[in-house]
Chain A
C-alpha cells in the first residue's frame, strides 16, 4: 500500500464528488424538501449523460449540450410527477416506472444516428471534443483546466440559485408542500403541481450532473446511473451527520450535501486503497446508507423507551 498512490487518487475523488454532489442536491430537493423518495434519478442521471454525449458527438457545443441535458431531466421529472399526482401511483413506484422506461429511452438516445438505433455506450474523447466542460485528464494539474475549479464554481452558483429560489414566494410554497400538504392546500397551494415542479427541478439537476459526469469520464453509459439514488442519499446523510449541528442556514445545508458527496468519494478511494474489491462497493454503500437512515428511528425509539421507564414500547 503506497501512500502516494492514494494521494494521486484524491483530486479525482474530489472532482467526482463535486459532480455527484450536484446530483445529491437534486436528491435533497425531493428527499428532504418535498419529503418524497424519488427513484427516477437512476434513469435521469444516465439520460443527462446520454443527451449530452449524443449532442456533443454530433457537433453541438458542450455548454449547450449540457443545458439541453438539464431540460431532458426536467422532462423525466415531469413524467414521474404526472404518474404520481395525475394517475395516483405512489411516488416511489412512479419513480421506478420512469426509471425503467428511461433505460430503453437512454439506449435509444445513445443510438441516435447509428444503424442499430440503440447503443449502450457513447465514447467522448477529450482529444476529439476539446471544448468539453470538464475532463478527468486535467484533474491532476494545477492549471485553470483542472475540472475541480469549474465544478466548485458551478456548485457555488447552483447553491446560490437554489437558496434564492426556495426563498421566493413560489419556493416557500414548495417547501410548505413538503412540510404539510394539508396546510399547503389550506393556503391555496396546489400540492400536485408543487410536487411535479419539485420533481422536475430535482431531475433537471440530476441530468445536469449526469451530463457533466459523461464529459468528465469521457463516455456516456446506459448504466452509469445505477445506484445513483443511494449515492445521493449517502451524500445527503453524510452531510447532515457531519455538518448538521454546524450548518443551519439553507445554503449551508446544500453545501453540506455537496461536501457529503466529496467525503463519500474520498472514503471510497481510501477503502479501495485499503484493498476492497470494486465489485463490493455498492454493497458497502447500501449498508452504510441503511445504517445512517436507521439512526433517527433508533434514536426516537430509545428516547421513547426512556420516557416509559425502560419498558418496551408496543
Chain B
C-alpha cells in the first residue's frame, strides 16, 4: 500500500537552525491498516506526514503508494490519492466559501476541473445526507460560510471532505489537538467510524497515548526522525500507557520529553 524507504530530510542545512527531521524513516503499510503515530516534540511525526503529502521535497529516499513512485510528484498531484486533515482546524477548509462549495471542491479532489457548474443539484442532496451523519446540524446550513463555524465543526467538515472521495491513504496530523476534550472525543469517534465504514488506510498522528493504543490496528513510535517502535494489533491490546513510556525509554535511552503526552 504505502512504502517509505529510507526517508531523509534536513531543514535549514548549513545554518544554526539546521534540524534533521527525518533520519532514515522506513515504513510499510498494508491495505486497511489504521496506524497511530506517537512520539515527542520534534520526533518527525508531522514531517513524515508532510513528506508523504508532498509539502516539501525529501532529501533522499522514496515514497511508493499502491506501487506508484510519488516521491517527486508535486503536492497538488498527490492530492488525488490522499485525504488530509491538519492540526489547525482553519487549514483544511476555505473560510470565505460556504459549506457546500467546500464539499464540492473536495468531491472533485484530484480531478480535472472544467467549466461545468461547480455544484450539481444531486450533489447537494448527497452532501445534506452526509452532513446529517455528523450530527452537528450542518445539513441545514449548506449555504453558510465555513468561517462562521466553530473549530470542532470545521474539523468534522474537513474530515468528511477528506473521505468524500475515497482516498488511498488518509493522513491525520494531530487533528484533534486544537479542540476542547469533548469535541476532540467526538471528532475522534467520527474518525474511527469513517475509517471503518469506508475501509480506509490511515496514518494518524496523536499526542494522546491512550487514543494511540485504543485506536487502529498498529502503533508506531518515532524519535529523532526514526521509527523506534512498531506495535501490531495483538501487542497493542496488552500494552498500557506506562508500558509504552517504559518502552520509549528503553528504545531511545531518554525520558519522553513531552508534557502534553504525559498529562493526557
Known: A187-B79, A187-B109, A189-B76. A175 touches B94 (CB 8 A): yes
Q: Name B66-89 residues within 8 Å CB distance of A.
A: 74-77, 79-80, 82, 84, 86
A280 to B105, CA, bound (A): 47
Find A169's partner among B86, B94, B108, B161 (CB 8 Å cutoff). B108
Q: Name A172-215 residues within 8 Å CB distance of B.
A: 172-173, 175-176, 178-180, 182-191
| Any A CB within 8 A of the CB of B106 | yes
Q: Are B74 and A169 in contact (CB under 8 A)?
A: no
Known: A175-B96, A175-B97, A183-B93. A188 touches B116 (CB 8 A): no
* Contact-residue size bin, chain A (C-beta under 8 Å from the other chain): 20 to 34
Shortest distance in angstroms between A251's beta carbon and chain B's nearest beta carbon?
15
Q: Are B113 and A189 in contact (CB under 8 A)?
A: yes
CB neighbours (8 Å) of A292 from chain B are: none
In the complex, residue of chain A having the shortest beta-carbon distance to the beta carbon of B115: A168
Find B111's partner among A182, A184, A188 (CB 8 Å cutoff). A188
Shortest distance in angstroms between A268's beta carbon and chain B's nearest beta carbon?
31
In the complex, residue of chain A having the shortest beta-carbon distance to the beta carbon of B79: A188
Q: Are B113 and A170 in contact (CB under 8 A)?
A: yes
A169 to B161, CA, bound (A): 16
| Any A CB within 8 A of the CB of B110 | yes
Chain B interface SS verdict (over half): loop
A168 to B115, CA, bound (A): 5
Find A179's partner among B94, B106, B113 (CB 8 Å cutoff). B94
| Any A CB within 8 A of the CB of B151 | no
| Any B CB within 8 A of the CB of A86 | no
CB neighbours (8 Å) of B75 from chain A are: 185-186
| Any B CB within 8 A of the CB of A167 | yes
In the complex, residue of chain A having the shortest beta-carbon distance to the beta carbon of B95: A179
Shortest distance in angstroms between A78's beta carbon and chain B's nearest beta carbon?
20
Q: Are B115 and A173 in contact (CB under 8 A)?
A: no
A171 to B113, CA, bound (A): 9
A205 to B75, CA, bound (A): 31
A104 to B17, CA, bound (A): 44
Q: Are A185 and B92 in contact (CB under 8 A)?
A: no
Shortest distance in angstroms between A127's beta carbon and chain B's nearest beta carbon?
43
Chain A interface SS verdict (over half): helix
CB neighbours (8 Å) of A171 from chain B are: 118
In the complex, residue of chain B having the shortest beta-carbon distance to the beta carbon of A166: B118
Find B80's partner among A168, A182, A183, A188 (CB 8 Å cutoff). A188
A182 to B95, CA, bound (A): 12
Q: Are B79 and A182 in contact (CB under 8 A)?
A: no
CB neighbours (8 Å) of A182 from chain B are: 86, 91-92
In the complex, residue of chain A having the shortest beta-carbon distance to the beta carbon of B83: A186
Known: A180-B91, A188-B111. A172 touches B104 (CB 8 A): yes
In the complex, residue of chain B having the shortest beta-carbon distance to the beta carbon of A175: B97
In the complex, residue of chain B having the shortest beta-carbon distance to the beta carbon of A32: B96
A169 to B76, CA, bound (A): 16
In the complex, residue of chain A having the shortest beta-carbon distance to the beta carbon of B88: A182
Shortest distance in angstroms between B142's beta carbon and chain A's nearest beta carbon?
14
Q: Are A185 and B108 in contact (CB under 8 A)?
A: no
Shortest distance in angstroms between B201's beta carbon and chain A's nearest beta carbon?
17
CB neighbours (8 Å) of A165 from chain B are: 115
A168 to B90, CA, bound (A): 24
A219 to B171, CA, bound (A): 59
| Any A CB within 8 A of the CB of B13 | no
| Any A CB within 8 A of the CB of B139 | no
In the complex, residue of chain B having the shortest beta-carbon distance to the beta carbon of A190: B76
Q: Name B101-124 residues within 8 Å CB distance of A.
A: 101, 104-106, 108-111, 113-118
Contact with B along A135-174 (1 / 0, CB 8 A): 0000000000000000000000000000001011111110
Shortest distance in angstroms between B159's beta carbon and chain A's nearest beta carbon?
13
Q: Are A172 and B86 in contact (CB under 8 A)?
A: no
Contact with A along B189-210 (1 / 0, CB 8 A): 0000000000000000000000
Known: A168-B115, A179-B97, A180-B91. A186 touches B84 (CB 8 A): yes
A172 to B79, CA, bound (A): 17
CB neighbours (8 Å) of B115 from chain A are: 165, 168-170
CB neighbours (8 Å) of A175 from chain B are: 94, 96-97, 101
CB neighbours (8 Å) of B108 from chain A are: 169, 187-188
A87 to B207, CA, bound (A): 38
Interface positions of A (Cβ within 8 A of B): 165, 167-173, 175-176, 178-180, 182-191
Known pairs A175-B97, A176-B97, A187-B108 / 9 extra A-B pairs, C-beta < 8 Å: A165-B115, A169-B114, A169-B117, A170-B114, A175-B96, A179-B96, A183-B92, A187-B109, A189-B105
Complex A-B, nearest 7 residue pairs according to Cβ-Cβ distance, in ascending order: A188-B79, A179-B94, A172-B118, A169-B113, A188-B110, A179-B96, A180-B94
Can you list 6 A-B pairs, Cβ within 8 angstroms, ordered by A? A167-B117, A168-B116, A169-B117, A172-B113, A179-B94, A179-B97
Interface positions of B (Cβ within 8 A of A): 53, 74-77, 79-80, 82, 84, 86, 90-97, 101, 104-106, 108-111, 113-118, 161
